[in-house]
Every structure is written in structure tokens, then in C-alpha cells.
Amino acid sequence: MSTEKCLRARVVHESLFGNTAWIALAVAEGLRLEGFETTVVDVRFAVPADDLDLLVVGAPTHAFSLSRPATRQDAVRQGAPPETAALGLREWIEGAPSPGTGHGMAAVFDTRVRKVRHLPVSAARTAARLLHRKGYHLVVPPHGFLVEDVPGPLSEGQLKEATSWGRQLAVETRSRIAAGSVH
């Protein structure tokens, strides 16, 4: 019988058309496959937790960054449900406390339209910078997942890639905890 502590992760996502939510679920599945107790929460309902081993956040890229109220309203005009525009990941991170008793490790991802896959700035990079300011340390570089167009669908193979990335996050987080290093 193993006495190893069960590691805990939370995946907080902002999703206007559902694509980022699907990626969040696949990332969570990868974490679970590696033994992490994992919850997935829409940013509108997420409350900070200080007992996590890993915080994963994800959002769609809007105007080369995290969404703002105006870009979320644009998404609503393009068919996103109005309730999804209430709160974005940018505001959630800015209002969240610094890491508490957890390890302060985080990972970030975004979804982006396939035709602009190589962005100089993206939602994930902005989220990474905001989390760093809060005292979080990224376990891997920010990751982008592709959608065919603003409302979707996800590009082929993205859910499988997200599950693999979730597994990679788990392995890297466990390794850093074992080494006593979060940097």
C-alpha cells in the first residue's frame, strides 16, 4: 500500500464558445491519469484554493491577450452565451491571492485560431506574467491549442494533445515537488 500523498490540481478556465472548456477537461484527464486529484472550474465560479499542488489556467486569446470586458462583449455579438462574458481570467487572476500553503506551481494554456498559431503575445503568455507577479512558478512554458475559427471547432488532435500535456504537467510537478524546487 502506497503512503504517497495524493497531489491536487485545479484547472480554471474561461470559455466563451466551449473550446477552451473542452481543452480544460482533457488537460484534467491527463492529470488524473497520472494520479492527481483534479477539479475543473469555470472562472465565473472559481474560488481561490491554497492547498493545491498545481493551478492550471486557460483562456481564449482575444486581441493577442487575455479577454477584457469589451472583447467578451464582441464574442457575445458573435454568438457566445451572454453569461460567459461576466468574468474573465484576467480579472480572476488579478483578484486572487498569492499562493497559500500549496507549492505555488502553475501552468497556463490558451486557445487560438489556427491561422494565427504563432502569436508574439497571447492569452497564455499574459496569464503567465500575471501569475508570476502573484508568486506562482510555471512548471512548463505556456501552451497554445488550436481552433479552426473564433467559435471553433477545435482543430483535429487538440484534445489528445491536451491530455498528453496534462500528463506532462503531472510528471513535471511531481518531479519538482520531489526535488524540493518550485523554480
Q: Residue 53 — φ and ψ, nearest 5°?
A: -90, -25
Q: What is the pLDDT of residues 122-151, one digit of tens each?
A: 899 999 999 999 999 999 999 999 999 989
The 8-class DSSP code of residue 62 comes to B
Across 19-26, average pLDDT:
98
Q: How do residues 75-102 score in pLDDT, each as one tens digit?
A: 999 999 999 999 999 999 999 988 876 6
| Residues 6+ away with beta carbon under 8 Å from 95 | none
Q: What is the pLDDT, as a whole number, of residue 165?
A: 98
Please give the Cα distance from 141 to 108 (Å, whole number). Answer: 8
pTM of the model: 0.94
What domains are defined for the chain? 8-179 (3.40.50.360)
The answer to whether residues 150 and 63 touch, using CB atoms and an 8 Å cutoff, is no
The span from the CA of 117 to the CA of 79, in Å, is: 23
